Amino acid sequence: MANPEHREELDKLDKVSVCFYRFGISLFSIALFGCAFIASHQLKLITLPDNASQVVILVFCLASVFTAANLHVYSKHVRAIIVWSTWLGLLIMLYSAQQNLYWLALGFFFVTFSGIALKESFCFKVYGLKLVPLFLAMNTLFILLEYWQGVLVCSSITGLIMMYLAVQKWRMPLHFDIGIKANYEI
pLDDT of residue 4: 57
CA distance 31 to 57: 8
CB neighbours (10 Å) of residue 27? 22
Q: Can you tell me the distance from the alpha carbon of 93 to that of 96, in angstroms, rounded to the nearest whole number?
A: 5
Cα–Cα distance between 163 and 169 in angstroms, integer?
10
Write the pLDDT tens digit of every residue in 22-48. 999 999 999 999 999 999 999 999 999
The number of beta carbons lying within 10 Å of the beta carbon of residue 177 is 23
pLDDT over 70, % of the chain: 96
66-117 residue pLDDT tens: 999 999 888 899 999 999 999 999 999 988 766 788 999 999 999 999 999 9
Least confident of 87-96, 135-144, 177-186: 177-186
- The C-alpha atoms of residue 157 and residue 161 are separated, in whole angstroms, by 6
Flag whether pLDDT at 19 surpasses 90.
Answer: yes
Domain range summary for the chain, segments of one domain joined by +: 18-177
